[in-house]
Amino acid sequence: MPIEFVQSLEVYPSVFQPAGEDNAFKYLESFIAERGMNYSKHISKPAESRKSCTRLSPYISWGNLSVKQAYQALNEAQKISNFKGPIKNAITRLKWHCHFIQKFEVEGNYEFKCINKGYELLAHPKNELFIKAWEEGKTGFPLVDACMRCLITTGWINFRMRAMLISFLCHHLYQDWRQGVHHVARQFLDYEPGIHYPQFQMQAGTTGVNTIRIYNPVKQSSDHDPEGIFIKQWIPELQNIPNSFIHEPHKMSLMEQQLCNIIIGKDYPFPILDATIAGKAARDKIWGHRREILVKQESARILFTHTRN
């Protein structure tokens, strides 16, 4: 075994999920016994989902647990559980796992090219400052920054927050998806190319066949972290901000900022752009582009390739 690899195992961060097969089964059992009770209710919440989701993804990606083992255990549990609905939802997601990997196996180019070739025609001027701010969790949008910083430290965030991070990069910041796809992959403890590239392109809106979701980062924040508990955990600079300003701290007056021991623009950035204007501009461009002949031809090809029986 290469010496660097052995050394890297010795410094396995304690904030990561514990590794290995035994732990995979412990996570599976604790989900079935109790953690899964609030799975469906908490799935989109950045803080609560850490406990309520199965958290099986790293074990499946690293081969500690097979999809078949997880499926069989959940399927049996569903018959006798007090929370059948949430377990059923988790089973559905395991099926998605296989569905996405199948897509990637059919079109391995997903990693490098827009799966809908028509979207290669849409120019995205590169902005190094935007990309750096996004990568480092310094965009001035608290939930976006908290998610990125949490991901960098722990290797995991829930589905909705992954989708929001990609939406913010590709729609609000209007950067080509390839500018962020590897950065995020490097952070994921559960990196699985077969899910990652198709999901990333789906969120970036380059498939031409899926609904394009542009997540408003302020709305996501007030919907899923209303009291800013997750935000404050990952952005210590915002520790003293009252709930009424936690989603948009730049809206505090200078006096309010001083009372909270923070100066926006110095201790924490101003928002990197106006999310409402940027979101609308991106929506118009991406939806408008769906009228291109090549996008339409490619959409038909994608549907035929991936959905016919």
Ligand X SMILES: Cc1cc2nc3c(=O)[nH]c(=O)nc-3n(C[C@H](O)[C@H](O)[C@H](O)COP(=O)(O)OP(=O)(O)OC[C@H]3O[C@@H](n4cnc5c(N)ncnc54)[C@H](O)[C@@H]3O)c2cc1C
Residue numbers of the site for ligand X (CB under 6 A)? 53-57, 60-61, 90, 93-94, 96-97, 100, 158-159, 162-163, 166, 188, 190-192, 195-196, 199-200, 203
Pick between residue 90 and residue 262 the one whose CB is nearest to ligand X: 90
For 8, counting Cβ atoms within 10 Å of its Cβ (0-12 exposed, 13-18 middle, 19+ buried), the class is: exposed
- Provide the CB-side half-sphere exposure for 31 (13 A, CA): 31
Nearest distance from residue 121's CB to ligand X, in Å? 23
Nearest distance from residue 55's CB to ligand X, in Å? 4
Name every residue whose Cβ is closer than 8 Å to that of residue 12 and which is 6 or more positions away in sequence.
Answer: 19
For 139, counting Cβ atoms within 10 Å of its Cβ (0-12 exposed, 13-18 middle, 19+ buried), the class is: buried
Please provide residue 217's backbone torsions phi and psi, each rounded to the nearest 5 degrees: -65, -25
Pick between residue 195 and residue 295 the one whose CB is nearest to ligand X: 195
Nearest distance from residue 277's CB to ligand X, in Å? 24
Pick between residue 25 and residue 191 the one whose CB is nearest to ligand X: 191
State how far the alpha carbon of 219 is from the alpha carbons of 149, 236, 284, in Å.
19, 21, 20
- Provide the CB-side half-sphere exposure for 245 (13 A, CA): 18
Nearest distance from residue 94's CB to ligand X, in Å? 5
Nearest distance from residue 98's CB to ligand X, in Å? 8
Nearest distance from residue 165's CB to ligand X, in Å? 7
Gap between the Cα atoms of 39 and 49, Å rounded: 7
Gap between the Cα atoms of 98 and 53, Å rounded: 18
Name every residue whose Cβ is closer than 8 Å to that of residue 77 and which is 6 or more positions away in sequence.
Answer: 32, 87
Position 14, amino acid: S
Pick between residue 83 and residue 159 the one whose CB is nearest to ligand X: 159
Pick between residue 159 and residue 297 the one whose CB is nearest to ligand X: 159
